Amino acid sequence: MSFLPLFEWAGETTVGITISGSVWMFPVIQCLHLLALAILGGAVLVVDLRLLGLGLRHQPVSQLAHDTQPWLVGSLLVMLATGVLLLTSETLRVYYSPPFWWKMQFLLLAMLFTFTVRQKVARSDAARIPPLLGRLVAVVSLSLWFGVGFSGRWIAFY
């Protein structure tokens, strides 16, 4: 199945033409995208470092996960919205960019993992979760989100 017609259509929309034709819209949207990524990264990092036993040991993982959830979800929504806007401004360039497709795969896996496995482990009672499992979940989570950021940055250089 080819997504090329969808990408071509998105690039021809008013939004795509406006963003690609503007000198300042792309950089402003990209700044919002990166700010959301930084906030998401912070929300993920706090909980994952706690799962690794590397910080905030006085606070339960479940409480940290609960407290960071709005930041995680809110920044993810902003990141997704701004990502779509950025995509519409350079559809054919990203369509033919392998790092873009790697980013989409990492993003899908990271979101699925974060809102299923990681959420279940982080919200569980610490006494019921073996430390090795918590560490493993944190390493997988950090690896997936790092993959999103790294491959996203690589798009600009491909």
Q: What pLDDT digit, counting tens, does each position of 91-137 carry?
A: 999 999 999 999 999 999 999 999 999 999 988 876 677 889 999 99
Lookup result for tokens 């980013």: 103
- What pLDDT does 129 receive? 78
Per-residue pLDDT at 157: 86
Q: pLDDT at position 125, please?
A: 73
Residues of the chain with pLDDT under 50: none
- Residue 125 has phi, psi (to 5 degrees) of -65, 130
Q: What is the pLDDT of residue 118?
A: 94
* Rounded Cα distance, 107 and 158, in Å: 19
What pLDDT score does 91 carry?
A: 92
Residue 112: per-residue pLDDT: 98
CB atoms within 10 A of CB 117: 15
pLDDT reported for residue 67:
95
